[in-house]
């Protein structure tokens, strides 16, 4: 069984046991994260395709670590007289996750960790 999920503006084809690097997540290393934006599920029988997402489907993963991508250098130079040059570097931050389970139904809408900068799900307050 495999699924196609959407996170960080990108789509990934995942199966149980896969490790992949996704955009930075608002969670701690070792936590379980859940991706609710499942675009397609393929298992035994016909594939399920969402419009745009499959209701109740989810993919659970364990957050292993935070990494950085390779350094990308942007260099611009103007030629001839009065020339100038500009050098700029960038390294993208990633979260390394391991897919633990693909749920066709029973995905929990609460407790989902979202991408950094997005509003996270509200936490329940314990009564004292």
For 99, the enclosing helix (H) or strand (E) is strand 93-103
Q: How far is CA 44 from the centre of its chain?
A: 26
CA distances (Å), origin 124, targets 15, 105, 127: 31, 23, 9
- pLDDT tens digit at each of 128 positions of the chain: 899 999 989 999 999 999 999 999 888 998 999 998 999 999 888 888 888 888 888 999 999 999 999 999 999 999 988 889 999 999 999 999 999 999 888 777 654 554 444 444 444 445 54
Q: Which residues pair with 17 in a beta bridge?
A: none
Which pLDDT score, from 0 to 100, does residue 115 have? 46
Residue-range domain boundaries for the chain? 2-66+96-103
- Residue with the two structure tokens 């950085």: 68
Exposure class string for 44-58: b at 16+ Cβ within 10 A, else e: eeeeeeeeeebeebb
């Amino acid at each position: 069984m495999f699924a196609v999920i959407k996170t960080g503006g990108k789509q990934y084809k995942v199966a149980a046991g896969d490790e992949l690097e996704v955009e930075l997540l608002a969670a701690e290393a070792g936590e379980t994260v859940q991706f609710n934006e499942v675009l397609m599920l393929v298992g035994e029988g016909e594939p399920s395709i969402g419009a745009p997402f499959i209701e109740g489907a989810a993919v659970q993963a364990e957050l292993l670590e935070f990494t950085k991508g390779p350094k990308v250098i942007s260099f611009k130079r103007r030629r001839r007289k009065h020339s100038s040059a500009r050098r700029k570097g960038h390294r993208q931050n990633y979260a390394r996750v391991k897919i633990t389970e693909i749920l066709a139904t029973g995905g929990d809408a609460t407790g989902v960790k979202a991408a950094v900068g997005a509003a996270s799900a509200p936490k329940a307050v314990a009564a004292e």
